[in-house]
Amino acid sequence: MTDLDVNYITDDVKALIGMESDFCEMPHPVEASEVRRFHHAVMDDSPRYSDAGASRYGGPVAPLGFPVHMYRRRPGEPDPLDGMDRPDRDGLDRKLRPGLPPIDVPLTRLLNGGYRYTFYRYAEIGDRIFVKSRYRDIYQRSGRSGVMVLFDIEDTYVNQDRELLLETKNTIILR
C-alpha cells in the first residue's frame, strides 16, 4: 500500500468539520512591548504603533494582523521545547487554535497554505482579545509530493467590548 491509498479523513477527523469554539480570551492583553517586538521584526516603523497622537485610530495601536499571533502558553500547558533533543521533534504542537481540539493526523510536515483577512478595527494597547474559531473543512488531496490533508479554519477576533477587529480564513496543510 502506498501513502496515496491512506484515508486520513477518518470518522474522528470528520467529526471535527464544522466544530466551532466559544470565544477564548488570549492569555494577556495587548502589551506595548510585544507590539514593539512585532513591528520591529516586521521592519514596520509606522508611528501609529508607538505614538498615540500619530493616527486617528485611538492608540497607540497594534499592527492590523497582530491579534492572530497573540496566543501564548498558559500555566500548566506543555512546554513546546520539551523533547527538542529528539532529532524528529518539530517544535510545534497540533493544537491549531486555542478553542479547538488538536488534530490527530499521522503526518509530520506542517505548512501554512495561506490566509484571507478582513479588517474592521485596530487592536489597541491594553485591549483584551478574544478569538472564536471553526474548522470550516478538512479534506485530503494528492499532490506531487504525496498525500496532504488541508484544514480550512475560520477565526473571528473581538475586543473586550465584543467589537469586531478582524476575521480570517486560514489553510493549514499537513503532509
Partner 1 sequence: MLAKTPLFDSINVGDSITPLVKGPMTTAHIMRWSSAIENWHRIHYDRTYAQEHDKLPDVMVNGSWKQHVLIQLVSDWAGEDGWVVEIDFQFRGMDVPGNTLTAFGTVTETRDCGAYGLVMLEIGLKNETGQNGTPGTASVLLPKAGGPPVPYPFDPAILAGAES
Of the pair 32, 164, the CB lying nearest partner 1 is at 164
Half-sphere exposure of 159 (CA within 13 A, CB side): 17
Of the pair 12, 57, the CB lying nearest partner 1 is at 57
Residue 104: left (phi > 0), alpha (psi -120 to 50), or beta? beta
CB of 75 to partner 1, least distance (A): 15
CB of 63 to partner 1, least distance (A): 6
Per DSSP, the three-state class of 125 is coil
Grid coordinates representing 163 are 467589537
Which residues in this chain contact partner 1 in the complex, by CB under 8 A? 34, 37-38, 40-44, 46-48, 54-57, 63-65, 69, 72-73, 80-81, 84, 87-92, 108-121, 163-164, 169
Grid coordinates representing 4 are 496515496
CB of 165 to partner 1, least distance (A): 9
Instruction: Give me the DSSP letters along 45-91.
Output: --GGGT-TTS-SSSSSB--TTGGGG---PPTTSPPTTTTTTSTT--S
CB of 14 to partner 1, least distance (A): 25
Of the pair 8, 170, the CB lying nearest partner 1 is at 170
Of the pair 5, 82, the CB lying nearest partner 1 is at 82
